[in-house]
Amino acid sequence: MLDLHKEISATDNESLTIRPLHVADLAELEKVFAGAFARLQPFGSLEDPARLDAARRCLRKTVSGGDGPWLEEASFLALDKVDARPVGAIFITLLPAGDAADTTATTVRHAAHDLAAQQGGRAHLTWIFAAPFFAGGGTGTALLAAARAVLCHRGYTQLFSTFLLGNHSSMLWHWRSGFELLPYPFSRRRRWTRREADPPQPTSP
């Protein structure tokens, strides 16, 4: 979870142009997505055509509301200033309000599809990625800063995120960007702590 009131330390990246992301950009972003996750599971085990198809399905699912209502105005595209080609993107969706460590609260089917119109729910960073040549050069930080400005303007105070298991570079990027690690939802310690705090009531015979 990122406290949006915290300032993000970002240096100006003169090689990039950051602009709002639109559905029409998806066709060009599919290759960028596939390249960004080419060495990470589950995408890394796929052949190139299958990985590209998986990228297409993932992005289409997000913009169609499959990951929660898509907050288009807080989603951005990074372009290479030299040839104006897409080199990265950030997709923000909305999840129902509630305990972020409660797995039932993060289930998309419980999300009301008018969350975006109501400016409710929890802002969630669903996808952020950059082409391999641009990864590690501030692309993700620039995209996050753009999304943060819109979310703050809409009144959101927190941004939640998840990343693929084994994606160590993403984990480090989240840490450097100021995200705070939340309790693991399936933690045995968490379950036992809850049981001790709220022991089951005896039932009548």
pTM of the model: 0.83
Q: What is the mean pLDDT of residues 149-160?
A: 94
- Is the Cα torsion angle 98, 100, 103, 108 positive or negative in sign? positive
Mean pLDDT, rounded, for 139-168 = 92
pLDDT at 205 over 70: no
Query: Which pLDDT does position 121 carry in this prediction?
Result: 86
What's the pLDDT score for residue 164? Answer: 78
CATH top-level class of 2-181: alpha beta
Instruction: Kindly tell me if the per-residue pLDDT of 12 is higher than 70.
Output: no
Q: Are strands 122-130 and 16-20 parallel, antiparallel or unpaired?
A: unpaired
**What is the tens place of the pLDDT at every residue in 80-101?**
999 999 999 999 999 887 666 5
Token pair listed for 74 = 């807080």
The predicted structure's pLDDT at residue 137: 86
Mean pLDDT computed over 127-140 = 91
Crossing angle between the packed helical segments 48-63 and 26-36, to the nearest 10 degrees: 120
Does residue 185 have a pLDDT over 70? no
Cα–Cα distance measured from residue 179 to residue 175, given in angstroms and rounded to the nearest whole number: 5
Rounded distance, CA 52 to CA 34, Å?
6
Helices (H), 69-135: 115-118
The domain ranges of the chain are: 2-181
Structure tokens at 79: 């372009």
Q: Where are the beta strands (DSSP E) in the chain?
A: 2-3, 16-20, 76-80, 86-95, 122-130, 158-161
Query: How far are the Cα atoms of 76, 87, 129, 181 from residue 18, in angstroms, in the given order?
Result: 7, 10, 14, 28
